[in-house]
């Protein structure tokens, strides 16, 4: 998902050792390494080096640079790539090489999180103990270098910088329009009710056409189960939320996603803490929503951009950090709205399941799931092959218990359903399989010690009276 937080400019000065200036690629790497050296217990440095589908190993941009990342949380990377029960969050900056404020803001954020954790800031400590934050300051380091050369030349010649120089990557491709258009997949699949795991609709040929930066980010998204993300641009001062394209092909029309209320709340969680958005929201957005947020398709039917000058003068950079700092922190905290939990079988093992909220769903692989939800009443259902569906009626109140707290815990213990997985209805079911099913039911009874699980065993045996002696013998062996 893409939430675009719009930034506009920042400044260079020394603040607790961090210099607000335009950092080139080597300086960017050095700063991330220095943050890691200063806070080795809560940081991990890595760069993207994997892809998906075509399995081609990719670790460099067109011009041979890495997409550098720093992970910040307690015990980072201890259980790769994910510690069950703790949400993963990511920020991506500088997708357009000439939109540089996000790059500098995210470098400052990494430095800030490290220093504030060391200073025992309670809010930051809570966030990093309960959230793993991944920061990629630049997705387009090649484009930045091109834009910076034009920036220096423009200053020397006393002219404005050219608007699009450095926007694209080293292959002159706009990375913001290089990703598969998942909106169209969703629109086409809406009637089926299954709009999760859309990558299965991508062909090898589709994937091979993508730029190396795009491939690496897609691989990154599949390696970590990110709960929430933001892609920071420069341009108009606005937070843009899905959908970004219209269903009817019109140039501008509000196109709500199934998560619309939640996306609106997420957009507000950034805009309401950004001092520039609070004090200087452009009228075109203020009149529509009362603040600096917009539905992407209502704004215009392409993925938007954001800020004043995209490559501001150095002396503006610190002001941009100050304007965005609280918004960046508050947005990370939104990883804990809604519900989360574990889906396990009666023996405590993780179950690969789907969590559905009305018409929404997401896949569970490691046993843990996260569903960001706005306040309200919901029916939540867990489904898994071989298990009975389980539903819960819940009420979400994200403000109950204080500003910083973990998401409401909603766990599921799945009861086996032999009749749904084919057991008991397949005439060709062999005796060994039947014995295994009976053993599974017996474990359920041993765990629960209740009449319902005992009745399942008795019903299973009643349907297989002719096999009872064999099943009894097998049960005694097990």
Can you give the CATH number for the domain in which 364 is found? 2.60.40.1120
H helix or E strand, kind and range, residue 412: strand 412-414
Q: In this predicted structure, what is the pLDDT of residue 110?
A: 98
Same domain, 93 and 106: yes
Q: In this predicted structure, what is the pLDDT of residue 182?
A: 78
Q: Which of 305, 308, 425, 473 is catalytic?
A: 305
Mark which of 297, 317, 336 sits at the end of a domain: 336
Same domain, 273 and 387: no
The answer as to whether 238 is a domain residue is yes
Catalytic-residue membership of 474:
no
The answer as to whether 423 is a domain residue is no
The answer as to whether 395 is a domain residue is yes
Q: What are the residues whose beta carbons fall under 8 Å from the beta carbon of 455, sequence distance 6 or more?
A: none
Count of residues for the chain? 478
> In a 10 Å sphere around its CB, with 0-12 CB exposed, 13-18 middle and 19+ buried, how is residue 250 labelled?
exposed
Q: In this predicted structure, what is the pLDDT of residue 7?
A: 30
User: CA 329 to CA 343: how far, in whole Å?
Assistant: 30
Same domain, 326 and 226: yes
Q: In this predicted structure, what is the pLDDT of residue 116?
A: 97
Same domain, 307 and 364: no
Q: In this predicted structure, what is the pLDDT of residue 452?
A: 52
Cα separation values, 151 from 122, 142, 160, 169, 234, Å:
40, 15, 8, 17, 15
What values do phi and psi take at 433, rounded to 5? -65, -40
The answer as to whether 426 is a domain residue is no
Same domain, 294 and 388: no
Same domain, 41 and 185: yes
Q: Mark out the alpha helices in 403-467 (DSSP H runs).
A: 431-448, 451-462
Same domain, 225 and 358: no
The answer as to whether 272 is a domain residue is yes
Which CATH number is 246's domain given? 3.40.630.10
State the pTM of this model: 0.80
Q: In this predicted structure, what is the pLDDT of residue 41?
A: 96
Mark which of 336, 359, 378 sits at the end of a domain: 336
Range of the domain at 181: 6-336
Contact 415/346 with Cβ under 8 angstroms?
yes
Number of domains observed in the structure of the chain: 3
The answer as to whether 419 is a domain residue is no
Query: How would you classify the pairing of strands 376-383 and 390-396?
Result: antiparallel
Same domain, 251 and 309: yes
Same domain, 343 and 330: no
Q: In this predicted structure, what is the pLDDT of residue 428?
A: 39
Same domain, 286 and 266: yes
The answer as to whether 420 is a domain residue is no
The answer as to whether 424 is a domain residue is no
Same domain, 468 and 363: no
Same domain, 164 and 216: yes
Mark which of 279, 309, 336 sits at the end of a domain: 336
Q: In this predicted structure, what is the pLDDT of residue 447?
A: 42
From first to last of the 478 residues of the chain, give the pLDDT tens digit.
333 333 322 223 334 579 999 999 999 999 999 999 999 999 999 999 876 665 668 889 999 999 999 999 998 986 567 888 899 999 999 999 999 999 999 999 999 999 999 999 999 999 999 999 999 999 999 999 999 999 889 888 888 888 889 999 999 999 999 988 777 777 766 655 566 666 666 667 777 889 999 999 988 998 898 999 999 998 778 898 998 888 777 888 888 888 899 999 999 999 999 999 988 777 666 656 668 898 888 876 433 344 456 788 899 999 999 999 999 999 999 999 999 999 999 888 999 888 888 746 566 666 788 899 988 888 898 988 888 888 888 889 988 877 678 899 999 998 888 654 432 333 333 444 445 445 544 544 444 455 555 555 555 555 555 545 555 555 555 4
């Amino acid at each position: 998902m893409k939430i675009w937080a719009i930034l506009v400019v920042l400044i260079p000065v020394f603040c607790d050792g961090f210099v607000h200036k335009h950092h080139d690629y080597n300086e960017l790497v050095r700063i991330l390494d220095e943050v890691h050296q200063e806070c080795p217990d809560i940081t991990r440095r890595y760069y993207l080096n994997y892809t998906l589908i075509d399995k081609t190993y990719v670790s460099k941009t067109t011009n041979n640079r890495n997409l550098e990342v720093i992970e910040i949380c307690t015990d980072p990377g201890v259980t790769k790539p994910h510690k069950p029960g703790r949400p993963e969050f990511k920020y991506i900056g500088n997708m357009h090489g000439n939109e540089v404020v996000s790059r500098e803001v995210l470098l400052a954020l990494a430095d800030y999180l490290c220093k504030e954790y060391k200073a025992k800031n309670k809010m930051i400590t809570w966030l990093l103990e309960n959230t793993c934050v991944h920061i990629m300051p630049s997705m387009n380091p090649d484009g930045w270098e091109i834009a910076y050369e034009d920036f220096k030349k423009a200053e020397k010649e006393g002219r404005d910088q050219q608007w699009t120089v450095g926007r694209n990557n080293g292959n002159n491709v706009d990375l913001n329009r290089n990703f598969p258009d998942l909106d169209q997949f969703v629109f086409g699949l809406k009637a089926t009710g299954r709009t999760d795991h859309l990558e299965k609709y991508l062909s090898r040929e589709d994937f091979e056409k993508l730029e190396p930066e795009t491939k690496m980010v897609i691989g990154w998204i599949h390696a970590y189960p990110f709960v929430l993300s933001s892609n920071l641009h420069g341009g108009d001062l606005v937070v843009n939320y899905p959908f970004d394209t219209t269903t009817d092909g019109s140039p501008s029309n509000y196109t709500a996603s199934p998560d619309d209320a939640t996306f609106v709340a997420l957009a507000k969680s950034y805009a309401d803490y950004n001092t520039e958005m609070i004090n200087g929201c452009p009228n075109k957005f203020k009149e529509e929503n009362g603040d600096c947020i917009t539905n992407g398709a209502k704004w215009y039917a392409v993925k938007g951009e954001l800020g004043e000058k995209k490559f501001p003068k150095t002396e503006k950079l610190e002001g941009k950090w100050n304007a965005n700092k609280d918004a960046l922190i508050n947005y990370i905290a939104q990883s804990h709205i809604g519900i989360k939990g574990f889906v396990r079988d009666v023996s405590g093992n993780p179950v690969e399941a789907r969590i559905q909220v009305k018409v929404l769903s997401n896949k569970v692989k490691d046993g843990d799931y996260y569903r960001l939800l706005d306040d309200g009443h919901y029916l939540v259902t867990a489904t898994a092959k071989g298990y009975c569906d389980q539903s819960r009626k819940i009420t979400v109140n994200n403000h109950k218990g204080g500003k910083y707290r973990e998401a409401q815990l909603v766990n599921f213990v799945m009861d086996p359903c032999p009749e749904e997985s084919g057991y008991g209805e397949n005439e060709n079911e062999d005796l060994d399989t039947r014995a295994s099913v009976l053993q599974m039911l017996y474990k359920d009874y041993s765990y629960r010690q209740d009449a319902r699980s005992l009745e399942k065993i008795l019903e299973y045996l009643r349907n297989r009276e002719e096999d009872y002696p064999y099943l009894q013998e097998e049960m005694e062996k097990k």
